[in-house]
Amino acid sequence: MMMRLYNTLSRTEEPFTPGPGNTVRMYTCGLTVYARGHIGNFRSFICTDILRRTLRHLMEFDVRHVMNFTDVDDRTIVGAQRSGQDLRAYTTQYVDAFLDDARALGLEPVEAMPRATDPENLQAMADLITVLDAKGHTYRSDGSIYFKINTMPDYGKLARLDHEGMKAGARVDADNYAKDDARDFVLWKATKPDEPSWTVVDPPGRPGWHLECSAMALRLLGEPPIDIHTGGVDLVFPHHENEIAQSECATGKPFVRFWFHVEHLNVDEQKMSKSLGNTYTIPDVIAKGFRPSAVRYLLLSAHYRKPLNFTWSSLAQAEEAMRRLTDFLARLATVTAEGAHPEVGSRVAQAQQEFGDAMRSDLNTAGALGALFELVRWLNAAIDSGRVGRADVDAIHEAFGGFDRVLGVLSLRRAEDDQPPIPVEEIDRLIEERHAARRRRDFAEADRIRQDLAARGVLLEDSSSGTRWKRK
């Protein structure tokens, strides 16, 4: 079955197939590394990870995926200056923090993670400017190089800008500027005192933000059009609009076939901002007693094109949903009857079809999760009535493995469980001590051991097959 994706460029859902060779070439605007990434950033990255996983594991396409780090722009330079650090050292700490958080949230590693200041990328930016110069799309002023938006007749097609209101000939130097304020934008910034500078372009200076992504995408993904470009909805204008302008005027070809944009994450119905103190990071969430797998579940639970409101209550609900899934999978170990039941196989196949249909329909994660939980409800009832056998369990595990290759939450929870808050050896020893206490009818000591483990984040569950532990 064909996959359909919403394309911001056309404002419609379109059938998606990869370019030549069955390989999807995809570019993601990554973090600007002037601070640690927050949960709003990671909503976009997790939704992109779901897209990547769907393409790979459900559609069985090959994927070449590039996600950059913007390590030179107005904010990184100011941050480095204030900290008294070299720009590379200052940004590296946030690159490392992003990689730690990405692993904690179960993001699949991508094929390339370039930094804007890598020498090969700076040279690619210089080469792009040279081509734009030769084609008459640039001008120089006060040592900086600007792109002339009036040289591109369809400038503004992604953001649907009003051509009558464009201020061609007026220019903007900042990397970030007001929405819809369409002006000639800077490609290369003149050297300022105490700012980093490179000599790959004459005059020496440093790249503008928009130039960086165009150069890296074209260098690492090859001839345009690339298949998919992703990012937060806030990047549609000016960043992605200006990427299109630079790239298409330089190459004479469409830059991107599908533009994939993720809606905002709000916190308690408010926009995230440092002044409100609600730009939570992954360490902030962990400090509140929540696990990254619950964050991942929450951030993928709503459709990527709909705003999502984060609250601590909604995160607790995501944690409860994760517990329902893991408790169900643990319950499968209690099935001891032999044989298979055709109705179980049929119901599992139905859920697999519903899950796949939802994900192929513009990544309808809410619909996919609905199919998954309806299957859990049905199977729990079937286990209650003795209508599930060991052969059925194998098929159920296989189906849930397929679901999770796309969602990535169960494997993440298992990895967390494999690293409990106290060593496994100590848990096993205390479980055995508790068993010994119960055998000698010292129930007070047995209860003390259970309560001590619970206080340290480990819950014990007794059943006819023995005692198992799980993280609190």
Domain that holds residue 430: 424-471
User: Residue 61 is part of a domain; what is its CATH number?
Assistant: 3.40.50.620
- 362 with 255, same domain: the answer is no
Query: 267-307: per-residue pLDDT in tens?
Result: 999 988 777 778 999 999 998 989 999 999 999 999 999 99
- 117 with 172, same domain: the answer is yes
pTM of the complete model? 0.90
- 337 with 371, same domain: the answer is yes
Report the pLDDT value the prediction gives residue 177, as an integer from 0 to 100: 67
Structure tokens at 411: 């494997």
User: Residue 364 is part of a domain; what is its CATH number?
Assistant: 1.10.730.10
Report the pLDDT value the prediction gives residue 290, as an integer from 0 to 100: 93
Query: 216-247: per-residue pLDDT in tens?
Result: 999 999 999 999 999 999 999 999 999 999 99
Helical H runs in 84-238?
87-104, 119-134, 209-221
Total domain count for the chain? Answer: 3
- 162 with 135, same domain: the answer is yes
- 133 with 217, same domain: the answer is yes
One DSSP character per residue, 159-198 reads TT--GGG-EEEEEE-SSS--TT--EEEEEEEEP-TTS--B
Pairs from 160-167 (Cβ < 8 Å, separation ≥ 24) = 161/237, 161/241
Final residue belonging to a domain, choices 373, 395, 417: 417
- 80 with 44, same domain: the answer is yes
Final residue belonging to a domain, choices 231, 262, 293: 262
- 63 with 200, same domain: the answer is yes
Q: Does the pLDDT of residue 194 top 90, yes or no? A: no
- Contact indicator for 155, 166 with CB cutoff of 8 Å: yes
SS3 103: helix
SS3 60: coil
Q: Does the pLDDT of residue 95 top 90, yes or no? A: yes
Q: Is residue 11 a part of any domain in this protein?
A: no
